[in-house]
Chain A
Amino acid sequence: MVTKTEETQLNNLENQVDNGGGGAWEYLSLIRKLNLRRSDKVLNHGLSILNNPKFRSTLGPDEWTLYEQVAVAAMDCQCLDVAKDCIKVLRKRFPESKRVGRLEAMLLEAKGSWELAEKAYTSLLEDSPLDQTIHKRRVAMAKAQGNISGAIEWLNKYLEIFMADHDAWRELAEIYVSLQMYKQAAFCYEELILSQPTVPLYHLAYADVLYTLGGLENLQTAKKYYASTIDLTGGKNTRALFGVCLCTSAIVQLVKGKNKEDKEGSQVQSLAAKVLEKEYKQKAPDKLPQLTTALKSLTLSS
Protein backbone atom coordinates (compact mmCIF):
# COMPACT_ATOMS: atom_id res chain seq x y z
CA MET A 1 0.00 0.00 0.00
CA VAL A 2 1.19 3.51 -0.79
CA THR A 3 1.50 5.97 2.06
CA LYS A 4 0.54 9.65 1.86
CA THR A 5 4.19 10.78 1.90
CA GLU A 6 5.08 8.38 -0.89
CA GLU A 7 2.15 9.61 -2.92
CA THR A 8 3.14 13.25 -2.53
CA GLN A 9 6.72 12.42 -3.39
CA LEU A 10 5.57 10.57 -6.47
CA ASN A 11 3.24 13.33 -7.63
CA ASN A 12 5.90 16.01 -7.17
CA LEU A 13 8.39 13.95 -9.07
CA GLU A 14 5.87 13.21 -11.80
CA ASN A 15 5.14 16.90 -12.18
CA GLN A 16 8.81 17.71 -12.41
CA VAL A 17 9.46 15.03 -15.02
CA ASP A 18 6.40 15.93 -17.07
CA ASN A 19 7.55 19.53 -17.23
CA GLY A 20 11.04 18.67 -18.39
CA GLY A 21 12.68 19.19 -15.01
CA GLY A 22 14.64 15.94 -15.13
CA GLY A 23 14.58 13.09 -12.67
CA ALA A 24 13.02 10.57 -15.03
CA TRP A 25 15.14 7.70 -13.77
CA GLU A 26 14.30 8.45 -10.11
CA TYR A 27 10.63 8.61 -11.08
CA LEU A 28 10.73 5.26 -12.86
CA SER A 29 12.58 3.67 -9.93
CA LEU A 30 9.96 4.94 -7.51
CA ILE A 31 7.17 3.51 -9.68
CA ARG A 32 8.92 0.14 -9.56
CA LYS A 33 9.46 0.35 -5.84
CA LEU A 34 5.82 1.18 -5.14
CA ASN A 35 4.65 -1.28 -7.76
CA LEU A 36 2.30 1.24 -9.42
CA ARG A 37 0.57 1.12 -12.76
CA ARG A 38 1.27 4.34 -14.66
CA SER A 39 1.97 2.75 -17.98
CA ASP A 40 1.58 5.80 -20.23
CA LYS A 41 4.11 7.79 -18.18
CA VAL A 42 6.52 4.87 -17.87
CA LEU A 43 6.40 4.28 -21.60
CA ASN A 44 6.97 7.93 -22.39
CA HIS A 45 9.79 8.69 -19.97
CA GLY A 46 11.34 5.22 -20.11
CA LEU A 47 11.64 5.38 -23.88
CA SER A 48 13.32 8.76 -23.76
CA ILE A 49 15.99 7.26 -21.50
CA LEU A 50 16.39 4.15 -23.63
CA ASN A 51 16.78 6.31 -26.73
CA ASN A 52 19.60 8.22 -25.09
CA PRO A 53 22.65 5.89 -25.27
CA LYS A 54 24.80 8.19 -23.17
CA PHE A 55 22.43 8.21 -20.23
CA ARG A 56 21.59 4.57 -20.67
CA SER A 57 25.21 3.53 -20.25
CA THR A 58 25.34 5.25 -16.86
CA LEU A 59 22.69 2.90 -15.53
CA GLY A 60 24.87 -0.19 -15.48
CA PRO A 61 22.92 -3.42 -14.94
CA ASP A 62 19.77 -1.38 -14.19
CA GLU A 63 19.52 -0.80 -17.92
CA TRP A 64 17.99 -4.25 -18.29
CA THR A 65 15.48 -3.62 -15.53
CA LEU A 66 14.39 -0.54 -17.43
CA TYR A 67 13.97 -2.50 -20.66
CA GLU A 68 11.71 -4.89 -18.79
CA GLN A 69 9.71 -2.07 -17.17
CA VAL A 70 9.19 -0.31 -20.50
CA ALA A 71 8.25 -3.57 -22.23
CA VAL A 72 5.47 -4.24 -19.74
CA ALA A 73 4.24 -0.64 -19.88
CA ALA A 74 4.23 -0.72 -23.67
CA MET A 75 2.08 -3.87 -23.66
CA ASP A 76 -0.35 -2.18 -21.30
CA CYS A 77 -0.59 0.74 -23.73
CA GLN A 78 -0.97 -1.58 -26.73
CA CYS A 79 2.32 -0.31 -28.21
CA LEU A 80 3.28 -3.82 -29.17
CA ASP A 81 6.13 -2.83 -31.50
CA VAL A 82 7.96 -1.06 -28.69
CA ALA A 83 7.39 -4.03 -26.39
CA LYS A 84 8.68 -6.39 -29.04
CA ASP A 85 11.86 -4.37 -29.53
CA CYS A 86 12.56 -4.23 -25.79
CA ILE A 87 12.04 -7.96 -25.39
CA LYS A 88 14.31 -8.64 -28.36
CA VAL A 89 17.13 -6.68 -26.72
CA LEU A 90 16.64 -8.60 -23.49
CA ARG A 91 16.55 -11.96 -25.25
CA LYS A 92 19.82 -11.17 -26.97
CA ARG A 93 21.47 -10.31 -23.67
CA PHE A 94 19.91 -13.20 -21.68
CA PRO A 95 19.37 -16.06 -24.16
CA GLU A 96 18.42 -18.64 -21.52
CA SER A 97 16.33 -16.45 -19.23
CA LYS A 98 12.97 -17.63 -17.91
CA ARG A 99 12.16 -14.08 -16.96
CA VAL A 100 12.43 -13.01 -20.58
CA GLY A 101 10.37 -16.05 -21.49
CA ARG A 102 7.63 -14.67 -19.29
CA LEU A 103 7.74 -11.36 -21.16
CA GLU A 104 7.51 -13.19 -24.47
CA ALA A 105 4.45 -15.05 -23.24
CA MET A 106 2.92 -11.77 -22.10
CA LEU A 107 3.48 -10.34 -25.56
CA LEU A 108 1.51 -13.25 -27.01
CA GLU A 109 -1.20 -12.42 -24.52
CA ALA A 110 -1.20 -8.76 -25.49
CA LYS A 111 -1.65 -9.77 -29.12
CA GLY A 112 -4.64 -11.87 -28.12
CA SER A 113 -2.93 -15.14 -29.08
CA TRP A 114 -4.45 -16.83 -26.06
CA GLU A 115 -3.63 -20.41 -26.97
CA LEU A 116 0.01 -19.73 -27.70
CA ALA A 117 0.32 -17.72 -24.51
CA GLU A 118 -1.28 -20.52 -22.52
CA LYS A 119 1.17 -23.01 -24.01
CA ALA A 120 4.11 -20.76 -23.18
CA TYR A 121 2.98 -20.34 -19.58
CA THR A 122 2.40 -24.06 -19.17
CA SER A 123 5.90 -24.89 -20.31
CA LEU A 124 7.36 -22.17 -18.06
CA LEU A 125 5.46 -23.62 -15.12
CA GLU A 126 6.83 -27.07 -15.81
CA ASP A 127 10.30 -25.72 -15.14
CA SER A 128 9.34 -23.56 -12.17
CA PRO A 129 5.99 -24.68 -10.75
CA LEU A 130 6.09 -22.12 -7.92
CA ASP A 131 6.39 -19.00 -10.05
CA GLN A 132 3.63 -16.82 -8.61
CA THR A 133 3.65 -14.28 -11.40
CA ILE A 134 2.95 -16.90 -14.03
CA HIS A 135 0.12 -18.40 -12.00
CA LYS A 136 -1.36 -14.92 -11.75
CA ARG A 137 -0.98 -14.30 -15.47
CA ARG A 138 -3.26 -17.29 -16.04
CA VAL A 139 -5.92 -15.69 -13.86
CA ALA A 140 -5.53 -12.39 -15.67
CA MET A 141 -5.75 -14.12 -19.01
CA ALA A 142 -9.01 -15.84 -18.13
CA LYS A 143 -10.39 -12.50 -16.96
CA ALA A 144 -9.28 -10.72 -20.11
CA GLN A 145 -11.19 -13.24 -22.20
CA GLY A 146 -14.32 -12.71 -20.16
CA ASN A 147 -14.01 -16.18 -18.68
CA ILE A 148 -14.81 -15.16 -15.11
CA SER A 149 -15.56 -18.65 -13.81
CA GLY A 150 -12.21 -19.72 -15.21
CA ALA A 151 -10.52 -16.86 -13.38
CA ILE A 152 -12.20 -17.93 -10.13
CA GLU A 153 -11.05 -21.50 -10.64
CA TRP A 154 -7.42 -20.51 -11.29
CA LEU A 155 -7.44 -18.14 -8.34
CA ASN A 156 -8.76 -20.79 -5.98
CA LYS A 157 -6.13 -23.23 -7.21
CA TYR A 158 -3.50 -20.55 -6.72
CA LEU A 159 -4.69 -19.81 -3.19
CA GLU A 160 -4.44 -23.49 -2.28
CA ILE A 161 -0.68 -23.16 -2.81
CA PHE A 162 -0.09 -19.53 -1.82
CA MET A 163 -2.53 -19.08 1.02
CA ALA A 164 -0.76 -16.03 2.42
CA ASP A 165 -1.15 -13.90 -0.71
CA HIS A 166 -3.44 -11.08 0.47
CA ASP A 167 -3.76 -9.43 -2.90
CA ALA A 168 -5.02 -12.65 -4.40
CA TRP A 169 -7.69 -13.01 -1.69
CA ARG A 170 -8.74 -9.44 -2.34
CA GLU A 171 -8.92 -10.00 -6.06
CA LEU A 172 -11.04 -13.11 -5.52
CA ALA A 173 -13.34 -11.19 -3.16
CA GLU A 174 -13.77 -8.42 -5.71
CA ILE A 175 -14.60 -10.86 -8.48
CA TYR A 176 -17.22 -12.48 -6.25
CA VAL A 177 -18.71 -9.07 -5.43
CA SER A 178 -18.93 -8.20 -9.12
CA LEU A 179 -20.88 -11.43 -9.66
CA GLN A 180 -23.05 -10.72 -6.61
CA MET A 181 -21.73 -13.87 -4.91
CA TYR A 182 -21.61 -12.07 -1.58
CA LYS A 183 -21.36 -15.11 0.68
CA GLN A 184 -18.23 -16.23 -1.10
CA ALA A 185 -16.82 -12.70 -0.95
CA ALA A 186 -17.50 -12.59 2.79
CA PHE A 187 -15.49 -15.79 3.20
CA CYS A 188 -12.49 -14.18 1.47
CA TYR A 189 -12.62 -11.17 3.77
CA GLU A 190 -12.87 -13.47 6.79
CA GLU A 191 -9.63 -15.09 5.66
CA LEU A 192 -8.02 -11.67 5.29
CA ILE A 193 -9.17 -10.47 8.70
CA LEU A 194 -7.89 -13.66 10.31
CA SER A 195 -4.45 -13.29 8.79
CA GLN A 196 -4.20 -9.50 9.25
CA PRO A 197 -6.57 -8.51 12.03
CA THR A 198 -5.48 -4.88 12.25
CA VAL A 199 -6.03 -3.77 8.66
CA PRO A 200 -9.14 -1.56 8.77
CA LEU A 201 -9.78 -1.93 5.04
CA TYR A 202 -10.66 -5.60 5.47
CA HIS A 203 -13.01 -4.91 8.37
CA LEU A 204 -14.73 -2.26 6.27
CA ALA A 205 -15.04 -4.43 3.18
CA TYR A 206 -16.36 -7.32 5.26
CA ALA A 207 -18.99 -5.06 6.82
CA ASP A 208 -19.96 -3.72 3.40
CA VAL A 209 -20.48 -7.24 2.06
CA LEU A 210 -22.54 -8.29 5.09
CA TYR A 211 -24.71 -5.19 4.81
CA THR A 212 -25.28 -5.96 1.15
CA LEU A 213 -26.30 -9.52 2.05
CA GLY A 214 -28.84 -8.14 4.52
CA GLY A 215 -30.84 -9.96 7.18
CA LEU A 216 -30.79 -9.21 10.89
CA GLU A 217 -27.81 -11.30 11.84
CA ASN A 218 -25.63 -10.00 9.00
CA LEU A 219 -26.61 -6.41 9.73
CA GLN A 220 -25.68 -6.78 13.38
CA THR A 221 -22.31 -8.29 12.49
CA ALA A 222 -21.77 -5.61 9.85
CA LYS A 223 -22.34 -2.95 12.45
CA LYS A 224 -19.72 -4.48 14.72
CA TYR A 225 -17.19 -4.48 11.92
CA TYR A 226 -17.97 -0.88 11.01
CA ALA A 227 -17.38 -0.09 14.66
CA SER A 228 -14.04 -1.91 14.65
CA THR A 229 -13.09 -0.01 11.47
CA ILE A 230 -13.84 3.24 13.29
CA ASP A 231 -11.77 1.99 16.18
CA LEU A 232 -8.81 1.01 14.01
CA THR A 233 -8.84 4.32 12.11
CA GLY A 234 -9.33 6.58 15.10
CA GLY A 235 -12.71 7.70 13.79
CA LYS A 236 -11.31 8.94 10.48
CA ASN A 237 -13.10 6.57 8.13
CA THR A 238 -16.14 8.26 6.59
CA ARG A 239 -17.47 5.08 5.02
CA ALA A 240 -17.52 3.27 8.36
CA LEU A 241 -19.26 6.19 10.08
CA PHE A 242 -21.97 6.14 7.43
CA GLY A 243 -22.07 2.36 7.69
CA VAL A 244 -22.95 2.43 11.37
CA CYS A 245 -25.84 4.81 10.65
CA LEU A 246 -27.13 2.65 7.78
CA CYS A 247 -26.94 -0.53 9.85
CA THR A 248 -28.72 0.95 12.84
CA SER A 249 -31.51 2.24 10.66
CA ALA A 250 -31.90 -1.07 8.83
CA ILE A 251 -31.82 -3.10 12.05
CA VAL A 252 -34.49 -0.99 13.72
CA GLN A 253 -36.74 -1.40 10.69
CA LEU A 254 -36.33 -5.17 10.86
CA VAL A 255 -37.10 -5.55 14.57
CA LYS A 256 -39.83 -2.90 14.53
CA GLY A 257 -42.76 -3.81 16.74
CA LYS A 258 -40.82 -6.64 18.32
CA ASN A 259 -40.05 -4.28 21.14
CA LYS A 260 -36.42 -5.11 21.18
CA GLU A 261 -34.88 -1.85 22.21
CA ASP A 262 -31.23 -1.58 21.29
CA LYS A 263 -30.07 1.30 23.43
CA GLU A 264 -26.38 0.80 22.96
CA GLY A 265 -26.85 0.55 19.23
CA SER A 266 -28.52 3.91 18.84
CA GLN A 267 -25.84 5.47 20.99
CA VAL A 268 -23.17 4.36 18.56
CA GLN A 269 -25.25 5.77 15.76
CA SER A 270 -25.68 9.20 17.29
CA LEU A 271 -21.98 9.35 18.03
CA ALA A 272 -21.14 8.45 14.44
CA ALA A 273 -23.63 11.03 13.18
CA LYS A 274 -22.05 13.69 15.36
CA VAL A 275 -18.57 12.96 14.03
CA LEU A 276 -19.88 13.09 10.45
CA GLU A 277 -21.51 16.46 11.05
CA LYS A 278 -18.38 17.84 12.61
CA GLU A 279 -16.23 16.61 9.74
CA TYR A 280 -18.55 18.01 7.09
CA LYS A 281 -18.75 21.34 8.90
CA GLN A 282 -14.98 21.56 8.75
CA LYS A 283 -14.15 20.13 5.38
CA ALA A 284 -17.28 20.36 3.21
CA PRO A 285 -19.57 23.01 4.73
CA ASP A 286 -21.60 23.42 1.53
CA LYS A 287 -22.62 19.73 1.73
CA LEU A 288 -23.70 19.97 5.36
CA PRO A 289 -27.41 20.60 4.70
CA GLN A 290 -27.75 17.38 2.65
CA LEU A 291 -25.84 15.44 5.26
CA THR A 292 -28.00 16.68 8.08
CA THR A 293 -31.21 15.78 6.26
CA ALA A 294 -29.83 12.41 5.27
CA LEU A 295 -28.85 11.56 8.83
CA LYS A 296 -32.21 12.73 10.06
CA SER A 297 -34.06 10.54 7.58
CA LEU A 298 -31.98 7.56 8.72
CA THR A 299 -32.92 8.16 12.35
CA LEU A 300 -36.56 8.86 11.51
CA SER A 301 -36.94 5.60 9.69
CA SER A 302 -35.47 3.98 12.74
Chain B
Amino acid sequence: MGSDLKYEVAQNAYIKLILHSLKHPTSAVNAILIGRVSSSNDVVEITDSVPLFHSHIGLLPQLEISLILIEEYFSAKGLNIVGYFHANERSDEYELGGVVKNIGDHICRYFPQAPILLLDNKKLEALKTSKDSGAIVQLYVRDAYKNWKLVQSDGSSRFSLKEPSANLVLLDYISSEKWNDIVDFDDHLDDISKDWLNPSLFN
Protein backbone atom coordinates (compact mmCIF):
# COMPACT_ATOMS: atom_id res chain seq x y z
CA MET B 1 0.00 0.00 0.00
CA GLY B 2 2.22 2.81 -1.34
CA SER B 3 4.63 2.99 1.54
CA ASP B 4 6.45 5.90 -0.09
CA LEU B 5 3.37 8.03 -0.38
CA LYS B 6 3.87 11.55 0.95
CA TYR B 7 1.37 13.92 2.48
CA GLU B 8 1.37 17.66 1.95
CA VAL B 9 -1.03 20.04 3.66
CA ALA B 10 -1.91 23.51 2.40
CA GLN B 11 -1.60 26.49 4.71
CA ASN B 12 -5.28 27.36 5.01
CA ALA B 13 -6.30 23.77 5.66
CA TYR B 14 -3.62 23.52 8.36
CA ILE B 15 -4.50 26.79 10.04
CA LYS B 16 -8.18 25.87 10.27
CA LEU B 17 -7.29 22.61 12.06
CA ILE B 18 -5.16 24.34 14.67
CA LEU B 19 -7.50 27.29 15.25
CA HIS B 20 -10.38 24.87 15.76
CA SER B 21 -8.39 23.06 18.45
CA LEU B 22 -7.55 26.37 20.10
CA LYS B 23 -11.17 27.49 20.14
CA HIS B 24 -12.08 24.46 22.27
CA PRO B 25 -9.04 23.94 24.51
CA THR B 26 -10.95 21.86 27.06
CA SER B 27 -12.45 19.26 24.75
CA ALA B 28 -11.40 16.84 22.07
CA VAL B 29 -12.00 18.16 18.54
CA ASN B 30 -11.86 16.59 15.09
CA ALA B 31 -11.87 17.57 11.43
CA ILE B 32 -12.00 16.15 7.94
CA LEU B 33 -9.16 16.55 5.45
CA ILE B 34 -10.03 17.32 1.85
CA GLY B 35 -7.78 16.89 -1.17
CA ARG B 36 -6.59 14.66 -3.97
CA VAL B 37 -3.72 12.45 -5.08
CA SER B 38 -1.18 14.40 -7.16
CA SER B 39 -0.88 13.71 -10.86
CA SER B 40 2.49 12.05 -10.28
CA ASN B 41 0.65 9.66 -7.94
CA ASP B 42 3.08 9.95 -5.04
CA VAL B 43 1.66 12.80 -2.94
CA VAL B 44 -1.66 13.19 -1.18
CA GLU B 45 -2.35 16.91 -1.45
CA ILE B 46 -4.52 18.12 1.44
CA THR B 47 -5.97 21.31 0.04
CA ASP B 48 -8.71 22.06 2.52
CA SER B 49 -10.19 20.98 5.85
CA VAL B 50 -13.59 21.03 7.51
CA PRO B 51 -13.77 21.31 11.31
CA LEU B 52 -16.30 18.78 12.58
CA PHE B 53 -17.09 18.57 16.28
CA HIS B 54 -16.11 19.63 19.78
CA SER B 55 -18.59 17.44 21.66
CA HIS B 56 -19.85 13.86 21.54
CA ILE B 57 -17.20 12.80 19.06
CA GLY B 58 -18.06 9.15 19.63
CA LEU B 59 -21.61 9.41 18.30
CA LEU B 60 -22.49 8.29 14.81
CA PRO B 61 -25.47 10.34 13.53
CA GLN B 62 -23.80 13.74 13.39
CA LEU B 63 -20.73 12.18 11.80
CA GLU B 64 -22.73 10.44 9.08
CA ILE B 65 -24.69 13.57 8.20
CA SER B 66 -21.60 15.76 8.05
CA LEU B 67 -19.67 13.28 5.93
CA ILE B 68 -22.53 13.04 3.43
CA LEU B 69 -22.84 16.81 3.12
CA ILE B 70 -19.08 17.40 2.95
CA GLU B 71 -18.56 14.67 0.37
CA GLU B 72 -21.39 16.02 -1.71
CA TYR B 73 -19.97 19.53 -1.71
CA PHE B 74 -16.38 18.67 -2.56
CA SER B 75 -16.93 15.88 -5.06
CA ALA B 76 -18.55 18.47 -7.33
CA LYS B 77 -15.17 20.22 -7.29
CA GLY B 78 -13.21 17.07 -8.03
CA LEU B 79 -11.96 16.75 -4.45
CA ASN B 80 -12.32 13.91 -1.96
CA ILE B 81 -12.23 13.19 1.73
CA VAL B 82 -8.63 12.09 2.14
CA GLY B 83 -8.01 11.94 5.87
CA TYR B 84 -8.90 12.72 9.43
CA PHE B 85 -7.63 15.12 12.07
CA HIS B 86 -8.01 14.70 15.81
CA ALA B 87 -6.96 16.62 18.93
CA ASN B 88 -7.16 14.79 22.24
CA GLU B 89 -8.94 16.15 25.27
CA ARG B 90 -5.91 16.09 27.56
CA SER B 91 -2.83 17.95 26.39
CA ASP B 92 -0.47 15.21 27.56
CA GLU B 93 -2.27 12.39 25.81
CA TYR B 94 -0.49 11.03 22.74
CA GLU B 95 -2.55 8.06 21.76
CA LEU B 96 -5.22 7.35 19.21
CA GLY B 97 -8.37 6.29 21.05
CA GLY B 98 -10.81 3.68 19.82
CA VAL B 99 -13.18 6.25 18.34
CA VAL B 100 -10.37 7.95 16.45
CA LYS B 101 -9.17 4.70 14.91
CA ASN B 102 -12.71 3.71 13.96
CA ILE B 103 -13.33 6.97 12.14
CA GLY B 104 -9.94 6.65 10.45
CA ASP B 105 -10.80 3.09 9.37
CA HIS B 106 -14.13 4.27 8.04
CA ILE B 107 -12.47 6.91 5.87
CA CYS B 108 -9.91 4.35 4.66
CA ARG B 109 -12.73 2.28 3.24
CA TYR B 110 -13.25 4.98 0.64
CA PHE B 111 -9.70 6.36 0.47
CA PRO B 112 -7.27 3.61 1.48
CA GLN B 113 -4.26 5.92 1.87
CA ALA B 114 -6.05 8.23 4.30
CA PRO B 115 -3.87 9.36 7.23
CA ILE B 116 -4.83 10.44 10.72
CA LEU B 117 -3.25 13.67 11.89
CA LEU B 118 -3.00 14.07 15.65
CA LEU B 119 -2.41 17.50 17.21
CA ASP B 120 1.01 17.67 18.88
CA ASN B 121 0.34 19.77 21.98
CA LYS B 122 3.99 20.01 22.97
CA LYS B 123 4.88 21.57 19.66
CA LEU B 124 1.82 23.80 19.81
CA GLU B 125 2.95 25.11 23.16
CA ALA B 126 6.49 25.64 21.94
CA LEU B 127 5.38 27.31 18.74
CA LYS B 128 5.85 30.85 20.01
CA THR B 129 9.44 30.32 21.05
CA SER B 130 10.76 27.56 18.86
CA LYS B 131 10.48 29.21 15.41
CA ASP B 132 10.01 25.67 14.17
CA SER B 133 8.61 25.65 10.67
CA GLY B 134 7.46 22.02 10.84
CA ALA B 135 3.82 21.05 11.22
CA ILE B 136 2.64 20.74 14.83
CA VAL B 137 0.81 17.49 14.14
CA GLN B 138 1.80 13.85 14.14
CA LEU B 139 1.20 11.63 11.13
CA TYR B 140 -0.38 8.20 11.52
CA VAL B 141 -0.91 5.80 8.62
CA ARG B 142 -2.13 2.21 8.43
CA ASP B 143 0.44 -0.53 7.93
CA ALA B 144 -0.06 -3.67 5.87
CA TYR B 145 -1.98 -5.25 8.75
CA LYS B 146 -4.33 -2.29 8.98
CA ASN B 147 -2.90 -1.10 12.28
CA TRP B 148 -2.39 2.62 12.79
CA LYS B 149 1.30 3.45 13.14
CA LEU B 150 3.00 6.71 14.02
CA VAL B 151 5.35 7.87 11.26
CA GLN B 152 8.48 9.29 12.89
CA SER B 153 9.10 12.77 11.62
CA ASP B 154 12.91 12.50 11.50
CA GLY B 155 14.71 11.40 8.37
CA SER B 156 12.88 11.51 5.09
CA SER B 157 9.84 13.47 6.00
CA ARG B 158 6.65 12.00 4.66
CA PHE B 159 4.56 14.86 5.90
CA SER B 160 5.09 18.51 5.08
CA LEU B 161 3.48 21.91 4.95
CA LYS B 162 3.03 23.21 1.45
CA GLU B 163 3.92 26.77 2.42
CA PRO B 164 6.99 26.96 4.70
CA SER B 165 5.61 30.16 6.21
CA ALA B 166 2.47 28.45 7.54
CA ASN B 167 3.50 28.57 11.21
CA LEU B 168 4.28 32.29 11.01
CA VAL B 169 0.88 33.01 9.52
CA LEU B 170 -0.67 30.76 12.15
CA LEU B 171 1.03 32.70 14.96
CA ASP B 172 -0.37 35.87 13.50
CA TYR B 173 -3.86 34.42 13.54
CA ILE B 174 -3.40 33.20 17.09
CA SER B 175 -2.29 36.59 18.38
CA SER B 176 -5.36 38.22 16.85
CA GLU B 177 -7.59 35.56 18.46
CA LYS B 178 -8.92 34.44 15.09
CA TRP B 179 -10.03 31.14 16.58
CA ASN B 180 -13.18 32.84 17.81
CA ASP B 181 -14.41 32.96 14.22
CA ILE B 182 -14.00 29.27 13.40
CA VAL B 183 -17.27 27.49 12.65
CA ASP B 184 -17.46 23.72 12.92
CA PHE B 185 -20.22 21.24 12.08
CA ASP B 186 -21.44 21.27 15.68
CA ASP B 187 -22.06 25.00 15.32
CA HIS B 188 -23.74 24.46 11.97
CA LEU B 189 -26.14 21.83 13.32
CA ASP B 190 -27.05 24.17 16.19
CA ASP B 191 -27.63 27.06 13.78
CA ILE B 192 -27.55 26.20 10.11
CA SER B 193 -26.88 29.79 9.05
CA LYS B 194 -23.33 29.23 10.34
CA ASP B 195 -21.19 28.11 7.43
CA TRP B 196 -18.86 25.14 8.01
CA LEU B 197 -16.78 26.18 5.01
CA ASN B 198 -15.54 29.22 6.96
CA PRO B 199 -15.50 31.34 3.80
CA SER B 200 -14.67 34.63 5.47
CA LEU B 201 -11.99 33.37 7.85
CA PHE B 202 -9.06 34.32 5.64
CA ASN B 203 -10.38 37.66 4.41
Contacts and interface: CB of A to CB of B under 8 A. Distances in A.
Contacts of A238: 189-190, 192
Contacts of A294: 65, 68-69, 72
Interface string A66-78: 0000000000000
Contacts of A257: none
Given A208-B61, A238-B189, A238-B192, A290 B73 contact: yes
A17 interface: no
A293 B60 CA distance: 20
B62 interface: yes
Given A208-B60, A290-B69, A280 B90 contact: no
A162 to B, nearest CB: 23
Contacts of B192: 238, 279-280, 283-284, 287
Contacts of B102: 180
Interface in B25-56: 26, 28, 55-56
A87 interface: no
Nearest to B27: A174
B193 A283 contact: yes
B65 A211 contact: no
Contacts of B65: 242, 246, 294
B99 interface: yes
A297 B61 contact: no
Interface residues on B, range: 20 to 34
Interface in A202-261: 205, 207-209, 211-212, 238-239, 242-243, 246
Of the listed residues B55, B56, B189, B195, the one surrounded by the most CB atoms of chain A closer than 10 A to its CB is B56
A235 to B, nearest CB: 13
Contacts of B58: 177-180, 182, 212
Interface in B50-90: 55-62, 64-65, 68-69, 72-73, 89-90
Question: Which residue among B73, B89, B190, B192 has the maximum number of chain A CB atoms within 10 Å of its CB?
Answer: B192
Nearest to B186: A239
Contacts, number: 79
Contacts of A37: 26
A20 interface: no
Contacts of A284: 192-193, 195
Contacts of A177: 56, 58-59
A130 interface: no
B2 interface: no
Contact of A174 (B56, B60, B61): B56
B93 A146 contact: yes
Interface in B98-113: 98-99, 102
16 contacts: A37-B26, A179-B98, A180-B58, A208-B56, A208-B62, A212-B60, A239-B61, A283-B191, A283-B193, A284-B193, A286-B195, A287-B69, A290-B73, A291-B69, A293-B72, A294-B65
Given A208-B61, A287-B195, 11 more contacts: A146-B90, A179-B97, A208-B59, A208-B62, A212-B60, A246-B65, A289-B72, A294-B65, A294-B69, A294-B72, A298-B68
Interface of A: 37, 143-144, 146, 174, 177-180, 182, 205, 207-209, 211-212, 238-239, 242-243, 246, 279-280, 283-284, 286-287, 289-291, 293-294, 297-298
10 closest cross-chain pairs (CB), A and B: A212-B60, A290-B72, A283-B193, A177-B58, A208-B59, A294-B68, A284-B192, A242-B65, A290-B69, A290-B73
